[in-house]
Amino acid sequence: MTAQVLTTLGGLGLFLIGMRMMTDGLRALAGRELRRILRQNTATPLKGAISGALTTAMVQSSSATTVAAVGFVGAGLMSFEQALGIIFGANIGTTITGWLVALIGFKLKLGTALMPVALVGALMRLFAPGRWKEAGWALAGLSVLFFGIDALQAGMAGLRDVISLDRFPTDTILGRLELVGLGAILTVITQSSSAGVASALAALGAGAITFPQAAALVIGMDVGTTFSAALATLGGSTAARRTGFSHVMYNLLTGALAFALLWPLGWIAAALGPRLDPQIALVAFHSAFNVLGVVLVLGVADRFARLVIRLVPERRSQLVAALDPRLRADPETAIAAAVATLRRIARALLLALAEALGAAQPEKVPQRLEEVRRACAETRSFLEGLRVREHGAAFENQIACLHALDHLDRLRLRCAQQERIDTIRSVPELRDLAARLLRTLRGETHGADDSDAEQTANALRTEFRDIRESHRTTAIARAADGEIGSADLGAELDAMRWLQRVSYHLWRIRHHLGVAGTEALSEGGGDEAARADAED
């Protein structure tokens, strides 16, 4: 019996390793395509569910799909209501693995036949160029997965006489609930509902358990996936916590629905007898109750979303609500969330600047600046924690985000220079320039288009640079004539320089945010920025 137990455990381990290898390879291959499908097909909850199911089936990872959805919500690319459809659909996509195991793994028994394929995949991973490396890793993972299925099946067959039906809970409501709990525990331990379904299929094929017992185990495995989802939301963004909570609620509801179906399914299985293929019936049941759950919940998706939002309120600062450590698993999605965060920080900072330049400084300005400081520090930590390949679009966009963050921080420090702001208010010429700057800030805070805002800020910066030179000449002449003292001259020149540098930071913030939101780094503006720094 020891050999059979070890074979079963080893088969389960190989299955888990193969799933991870295949998922990593497919995810690397389809990462950008996954994001494109999710972003372009979420107009309605139904379309979101379909795209969520397709992308999860494509990459064999519901976590990859939900992480992408969380990132899009945080970046403002889709609403939480739209993301719910994706999350529900991801549950359907995960059932594809069960069909793969039942139809190919157990029926065709390809483990031995795929051994050479594992070698081919490994060689591709080591020596193939570009994306072929990832394809090789996915191919090797698929082969290892089927090795695991063969070992799992062999181990379960050897345990058929040891694991008898009387060792399982009786076929009552309480007994089936115990099996649901056992399935949930198995999923929590293996961190994979697919591995649990494969184990249930192997036990069912070996005759160790009946169809209703296997169905109860599968329900528990579906519920068990919520533990991982809930655990992953701890310390995450509000979007992540809402996603995890909605996943838990949805899976509990569909689990209750599936549990109620066990009795009629048991009667049907008994009536069909040997004509029923229990393994196919089990994966069909797994898919059916997930599809039925999605169909039922889509009709009330808006109300469901409002309930989740009410139960999981925003606790973090709105400025950094999009930042979630889980997003680092997908650098492009993480950068999209960082860009959205930087835009929020920029709006908050420009509002504080506009208030500081007003007729009287509001008491809220120091508080706003402190909130911006904390948000900048958190965003910097988030960006520096990303690991992306050098020379790729994601790397260049990460650099652009850090440039924008640097200018935001420097602009924040200038907003706290009250003496220079007071000088601007006291000098008529500088006060007029500040009024022009305020008009530009109003356009910025009202969500002007990136390219238009960048052009406006650049034009203002260029004009202020020229005015700074002429003002310097005029101010020195006035000091020479005795109209102003040397101390006032220094303060006035510093105040004019303050205006010019503020306009410069506005321009560079807009420029770098525009770059970070594109697929590749733009080359425009670099030389002009260098000249502006040299003139400073």
What are the structural domains, with CATH classification, of the chain?
2-311 (no CATH), 319-535 (1.20.58)
Amino acid of residue 133: K
Q: Which residue has the tokens 């959205």?
A: 340
Angle among Cα 423, 429, 435 to the nearest 5 degrees reads 85
d(CA 88, CA 48) in angstroms, rounded, equals 8
DSSP at 164: -
Q: Each residue's pLDDT tens digit in the chain (536 positions)?
A: 677 778 878 877 887 787 778 777 776 766 666 667 776 777 777 888 888 888 777 776 676 677 677 767 766 667 777 788 888 888 888 888 788 777 776 665 665 667 788 888 888 888 888 778 888 888 888 788 777 777 766 776 655 455 444 556 666 788 888 888 888 887 777 666 777 777 788 778 777 777 888 888 889 888 887 776 666 566 666 777 787 788 888 888 888 988 988 888 878 877 887 777 888 888 889 888 889 888 888 888 888 888 888 888 877 777 887 887 777 777 877 888 899 899 999 999 998 888 888 755 567 788 889 999 999 999 999 898 887 766 567 888 889 999 999 999 999 999 988 889 889 988 888 988 888 888 887 766 555 556 678 888 888 899 999 999 888 888 898 888 888 888 888 998 999 999 999 999 999 999 999 888 764 333 334 444 444 444 44
Q: Which residue has the tokens 């009795």?
A: 263
What is residue 452's predicted lDDT score, i.e. its pLDDT? 77
d(CA 98, CA 201) in angstroms, rounded, equals 9
Amino acid of residue 108: L
CA neighbours within 13 Å on the CB side: how many for 434? 24
441 contacts 354 by C-beta, under 8 angstroms: yes
DSSP string, 376-396: HHHHHHHHHT----TTSHHHH
Amino acid of residue 484: I
Both structure tokens of 424: 């601007």
Q: Is the pTM of this model over 0.85?
A: no
d(CA 412, CA 369) in angstroms, rounded, equals 7
Query: SS in 3 state form for 172-226?
Result: CHHHHHHHHHHHHHHHHHHCCHHHHHHHHHHHHHCCCCCHHHHHHHHHHHHHHHH
What is residue 533's predicted lDDT score, i.e. its pLDDT? 45
The secondary structure of the chain in percent helix, strand, coil, rounded to multiples of 5, reads 80, 0, 20
Helix residue ranges per DSSP H, 385-427: 393-415, 418-426
59 contacts 22 by C-beta, under 8 angstroms: no
DSSP at 105: I
As a dihedral over the C-alpha atoms of residue 33, residue 333, residue 92, residue 108, rounded to 10 degrees, the angle is 50
Angle among Cα 197, 202, 204 to the nearest 5 degrees reads 90
Give the other-Cβ count within 10 Å of 328's Cβ: 18
As a dihedral over the C-alpha atoms of residue 123, residue 127, residue 131, residue 133, rounded to 10 degrees, the angle is 30
d(CA 125, CA 96) in angstroms, rounded, equals 25
What is residue 31's predicted lDDT score, i.e. its pLDDT? 61
Nearest C-alpha neighbor of 339 from the set 102, 513, 84: 513
